[in-house]
Amino acid sequence: MSGRGSTGTGKPALVPTGPYAPRPAVTGLVVDFHGEDGRSRTFDVSALPLPGWHEALAASWSARTGPAGALRTRASAEAAWGSLARMIRFYGQMLRPPQHPSDLRVEHVDAYRRFRAAAAGDRRARLELRSAALTFEMAPLAGVVAAEVRDRMRPHQVKRVTAVSGYSDGELNRLVAAARTDVAALRQRLTVLAAGTASDQRRIEIARATGRVPLGGVHLTHAVQTRRRIAEQLFVTRHDLTAMLALLVATTGWNIEVIKELPAEHRIIEDLAVEVEVTKRRRGPGRWHRTATWEIGPPGKELITPGGVYLLLHQLMAPARELLDTPAFWAVWHHSGRGRGTDGCRDPFAPALDASLRHQKWVKAGQILADDPDENGQPMLLRLDFNRLKTSIDVRRTRQAGGHLPTAARTNTTAVLFRNYLSGDHSTIDWARELIADTVAEVEQAAWATHLRALATQGRTALDIRPPTRASDEHPDGDEAATQTAWTACSDHDHHPLTGRRCSSSFLDCFHCGNCVVTGDHLPRLLSLLDALETRRRQLSEDAWWARYGPAWAAIRYEVLPKFSDSEVDRAEQRKPDDSLLDLVEPAWEQP
């Protein structure tokens, strides 16, 4: 079979030339793993103790790492294998080891958990047990190990790692600016070929074709410097990677694992955007790949937009990529650093995602400082953490979206965005508190304005409030002629200020009426009403509560209570009734 197998009208689909025979995943006691990240690994079960376990263990491990399993990359498979192998080795060293899986008991699991807790901590022991338990849930181990034993291998996680806080705005700006500056310098270095001697030009041509820098006529003590000087005129090197990684994380918003596995294949859409299929971790076997579309931007803005950065770095690493056996997005020149050792071009993240990079060397070279000084008050270098960098980018995007998580969530779901990135960020918490405080203040002011407009329609600017210390002087007749209502008094119940007729409004509308009279005797009932309103606030939506009770609440809070002294309010607090009468003034169908 050859070609992509595309079909069309009158063109049948291509079929295999022979029968398909899948390669067995288990050969004896050796399990071959082929990850979706393109990396492979062979696991030899026979190297473990307890031979009675080997056959069942190899079959269950093959099921967990196979197409139906959840381990899809070499890194995840190696981590799970480490937990499983440590457990089997521990059982093999016991005085009375379980010779077969059916001999495993709860006591064995508890002993291993205590052993790992003493060595690595209780939380780590729990995680390793839960990881090993997933293998024991695969056949044939699931059929021979007792259910209570497998349940004991899944201890409850009582502790959970909180989300890491991102960088401050100043730290983030300094970090991104340094990365953008270094990438701009890299572009300048690779696009402008420096003048050199004839021997240097010959070395450059050979390095361009082979990836190796010849050292004929160079003294051994200058070999490393000569190699690096020649290679840096043609290729991206390991020293450039940290700035490139930081700029890609900052512009795309994806985590560092996704950035390290970016593909070289892409599609440019009308010179406006670039489409890339990224490998999305932790989404299960059915949702591992996702298409990301990044804006390219206008010419001259390549270092600002995510698509522009991707295409620029893709172009800068093109000379090294041409020398790779398997084309990859990341292609750098590598040297051994040991005199006349081998050098050449390779994908730095093919053997392992960490690539043994030392990011702090880049921070120190750029003198990127943190906001807070050290113990002695001296400036302190910023600690580069790509998880914190992604959190900072998510926080900034969430702020720009006004806190609307469905809009801000681009690389994760809204639940993951909040739980793993926003919930533990101190700047997000402070910003959210300020936002909520501003929102509440705006709503309160709107309710207060509604109260004032209602009074203004009746020719009044304020309620008739008579505190005990001034009521006898300003109103010598007191309020004997006033009609008592639920919480206040009415100076003329038979003539409403607007209609001139007998009042039929709700008692809650009394707080916006020109006939309303409030004295010190009403204060205990008003405080009881405030408590009832706060209770209703937990039973209704915010919009419904402010529409129904907001103006009355604002009138009591902003106009009535300030007219009384603190001692008068304290005495009224001690005498407030239990029944606020709020249920009596509303129809049953309007009560929550």
- Distance separating alpha carbons of residues 229 and 204, to the nearest angstrom: 10
| Two tokens, residue 476 | 């010598």
Q: Which pLDDT belongs to residue 492?
A: 82
For residue range 344-395, list pLDDT tens digits in order: 888 888 877 777 788 999 999 999 999 888 888 888 999 999 988 988 888 8
For residue range 76-106, list pLDDT tens digits in order: 888 899 999 999 999 999 999 999 999 999 9
Average pLDDT score, the chain: 82
Per DSSP, the three-state class of 217 is coil
- Alpha-carbon 428 to chain mean position: 12
For residue range 436-492, list pLDDT tens digits in order: 666 677 788 888 888 888 888 887 888 888 887 654 444 444 445 578 888 888 988
| Two tokens, residue 322 | 């041409």
Contacts of 287 (CB under 8 A, 6+ apart): 280
Identify the band that residue 507 occupies on the pLDDT scale cut at 50, 70 and 90. confident
How many CA atoms within 13 Å lie on the side-chain side of 39?
Answer: 17
Mean pLDDT of 533-538: 86
Identify the band that residue 1 occupies on the pLDDT scale cut at 50, 70 and 90. very low
Q: Are 224 and 339 in contact (CB under 8 A)?
A: yes
Lowest mean pLDDT among 5-14, 198-207, 217-226, 280-289: 280-289
Q: Are 505 and 513 in contact (CB under 8 A)?
A: yes
| Two tokens, residue 222 | 């200058």
- Distance separating alpha carbons of residues 248 and 294, to the nearest angstrom: 11
Per DSSP, the three-state class of 332 is strand
Upstream peptide bond of 67 is cis (omega within 30 degrees of 0): no
Selected residue with higher pLDDT from 245 and 407: 245
- Distance separating alpha carbons of residues 9 and 161, to the nearest angstrom: 57
- Distance separating alpha carbons of residues 297 and 301, to the nearest angstrom: 6
Residue 588 φ then ψ, to 5°: -60, -35
What pTM did the predictor assign?
A: 0.62
| Two tokens, residue 157 | 């996680």
Closest CA to 455 of 536, 411, 509, 410: 509
DSSP 26-76: EETTEEEEE-TTS-EEEEEGGGSS-HHHHHHHHHHHHHHHSTTSS--SHHH
Identify the band that residue 286 occupies on the pLDDT scale cut at 50, 70 and 90. very low
| Two tokens, residue 90 | 């521990």
For residue range 18-59, list pLDDT tens digits in order: 665 555 556 678 888 887 777 788 999 999 999 999 999 999
Task: Specify the DSSP class assigned to residue 302.
Answer: T
